Amino acid sequence: MIACLEQRFLPESEAVSGSSGDDATRDDEEDLALLRTLELQGSLEFPSPSCPPPPAARDFGGVYQLRPAAVVRPASAEDVAAVVRLAARSPRLTVAVRGNGHSIYGQAMAAGGVILEMRPSLSGMELVPGRAPGDHPAVRAGGGALWEDVLHWCVEEHGLAPRSWTDYLGLTVGGTLSVGGISGQAFRYGPQSCNVLELEVVTGGGDTVVCSESHNPDLFFAALGGLGQFGVITRATIPLQPAPDMVRWVRVVYSDFGEYAGDAEWLVSRAAAEAGDEFDYVEGFAFVNGDDPVNGWDSVPLEPGQRFDAARIPPGSGPVLYCLEVGLHYTLRDHLDAIGKRVLGMLGRLRHVRGLEFAADVSYRGFLLRVKRAEAAAKASGIWDSAPHPWLNLFVAKADVADFDGRVFKHILHRGVGGPMLVYPLLKSK
């Protein structure tokens, strides 16, 4: 979860220092004494400086390690509000919110401050009626609920699902709503932060406020994508729609970036929708034109029996190739032959390299949990938990993306980065 009320980006050795050793010690003791006055429904822990740093001192990025003075596991929004109000009484005490620890550069840490561990207590879910007659129900989920748990609960219990996702679902509801939440459905529905009916937010003043587009709208829109700077999201109400049963998952390869970008832009356009060529999911990535085990040809096939035939790559292709990834939802009532013909027709107008097409039929949940399977493999090899994970997300204007490809993908990153290099279109209107 990438959310914090105040952040210090300092090495741990610097972050805990004060104007003098005696002053720093006295300040720390005053803050600890203040924290001990908290009356919580949840738990309060003071990690010992003589023990290894707690999990709250690390994040997925693995770049920073910042030891907190205290870790609070709130049982309710009232607990969160109590911590925020108490921190406001100290000129030094900072508060950071940690969902599943998936920030990259220490955003969910607080050196010498307080970590609010939103999991597992603030992760409950309930189904609520739609707002208007005929509307589908919505799910009201705690800010600490994982999206993968939302997926399982909504689909298994109710046959419903949120409209917009992230690629990796081991993230909290409050975390992704605080930063946006983008995946291959965003071209149609917008990011996750645009698919929210109502929020419960603890503000920087320690007030618990329910907000929506029509009620306290300033706070509602500030909290969504607000990086936690306007409050802590403790609960969110997410609209649902009927969940499909299956996904026809397809990848096709390009050697020319202009053709790749043009086709991807067509697929997310209104013209494609009007022509009946609209997939339910559109993403893509750049990969190394070679046998690199992580970023090379073998990163494209979807199933073990599929083989990337490098002989089909056009002569003179550059050091980087591109893979357009699409998905089409369907139900078990649909005929596979009809689905296959529809997909082939939609792919027919694209300019990808013929013979480098890969397809698989997977369950809807299996498709959405595809990165979870990659995570399991990475954990088994040890690289998921032990290696740093630097990460960068950029929005590049259409007018500049060809230049970006030439300067960044084809030159700086032409040997890959040891991980995915995603590149796909989003609509500004969403």
pLDDT averaged over 10-residue windows placed end to end, the chain, 430 residues: 32 41 67 89 92 93 94 97 93 94 93 95 94 91 98 98 98 97 96 98 97 98 96 98 98 98 94 84 98 93 96 97 98 96 95 98 98 88 82 94 97 92 93
Residues whose CB is less than 8 angstroms from the CB of residue 94 and which lie 6 or more positions away in sequence, other chains included = 4, 5, 6, 7, 8, 87, 110, 111, 112, 113, 114
6, 45, 167, 375: the active-site residue: 167
Judge: domain 29-117, CATH 3.60.9.10. no
Q: For residue 24, what pLDDT is reported? A: 55
Of 27, 59, 79, 102, catalytic? 102
pLDDT of residue 340: 96
The pLDDT value given to residue 22: 57
User: Where are the chain's structural domains?
Assistant: 29-117, 125-242, 246-422
Residue 273, pLDDT score = 82
Contact 24, 32 (CB under 8 A): no
Task: Find out whether 327 and 370 touch, Cβ atoms under 8 Å.
Answer: no
- Looking at residue 49, its pLDDT comes to 87
Tokens 């699902």 sit on residue? 161
Residue pointed to by tokens 């979807």: 302
CATH topology of domain 246-422: Vanillyl-alcohol Oxidase; Chain A, domain 3 (3.40.462)
pLDDT of residue 73: 97
pLDDT (0 to 100) of residue 235: 98
Annotated catalytic residue 29: no
Three-class DSSP category at 249: strand
167 is catalytic: yes
Task: Please give the pLDDT value at position 26.
Answer: 66
Active-site residue (options: 59, 263, 283, 405)? 283
Q: Is residue 280 among the annotated active site residues?
A: no
CATH of 125-242, one of 3.30.465.10, 3.40.50.1100, 3.20.20.70, 3.40.50.2300: 3.30.465.10
Separation of CA 19 from chain center = 39
